[in-house]
């Protein structure tokens, strides 16, 4: 389990590794966005194949799936249980919420768009919380509401804590 002190030590370690150029979380962030798009491509080729009855689209699904699996292995290391699928679905749901939010935004439905964007970022933060092992999935049933883990004594809800942590860990604008 990770408490606030451990989170701070993790942040210090990551900053140190960034300085030594041994860790580039911004590249992992870019990779996660690419994976989101690959999942969307799988879905689009599937539906195109189903709607047109043309098998070639299902071949594309298989090829894209293999690429997505290869890339997801770079982020989801040593997955246990359902973590691989959970991670894939968190990214897929994030992507879909962003897309629907963008449609709402273009239709001047700003409140609905912002709500979906917030949910998308919460799911994306949950993805990173799981894959950076900030959240111990094994003890989720024992964790009280609004806590990252059983040692968390901070204020604020779980998703805002994860959002803040992801913002600190992954900053694509820092080179």
Euclidean distance between the first and the last CA atom of the chain, given in angstroms as a whole number: 30
The mean of the pLDDT values for the chain is 78
**Mean pLDDT over residues 93-110, rounded?**
97
pLDDT for 85 beyond 70: yes
pLDDT value at residue 129: 83
Q: Provide the 3-class DSSP secondary structure of residue 13.
A: helix
Give the Å distances, CA to CA, from 43 to 57, 85, 131, 166. 10, 15, 24, 27
pLDDT value at residue 15: 65
Position 81 confidence tier, pLDDT thresholds 50, 70, 90: confident
- Give the predicted TM-score (pTM) of the model: 0.69
The 10s digit of each residue's pLDDT in 49-67 is 999 999 999 999 999 999 9
């Amino acid at each position: 389990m990770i408490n606030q002190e451990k989170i701070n030590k993790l942040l210090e370690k990551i900053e140190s590794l960034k300085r030594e150029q041994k860790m580039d979380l911004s590249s992992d962030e870019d990779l996660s966005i690419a994976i989101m798009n690959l999942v969307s491509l799988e879905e689009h080729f599937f539906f195109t194949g189903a709607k047109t009855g043309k098998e070639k689209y299902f071949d594309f699904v298989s090829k894209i799936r293999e690429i997505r699996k290869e890339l997801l292995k770079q982020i989801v290391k040593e997955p246990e249980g359902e973590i691989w699928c959970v991670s894939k679905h968190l990214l897929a749901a994030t992507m879909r919420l962003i897309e629907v939010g963008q449609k709402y935004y273009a239709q001047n439905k700003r409140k609905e768009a912002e709500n979906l964007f917030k949910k998308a970022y919460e799911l994306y933060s949950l993805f990173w919380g799981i894959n950076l092992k900030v959240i111990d999935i094994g003890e989720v049933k024992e964790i009280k509401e609004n806590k990252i883990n059983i040692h968390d004594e901070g204020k604020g809800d779980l998703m805002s804590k994860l959002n803040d942590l992801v913002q600190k860990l992954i900053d694509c604008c820092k080179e």
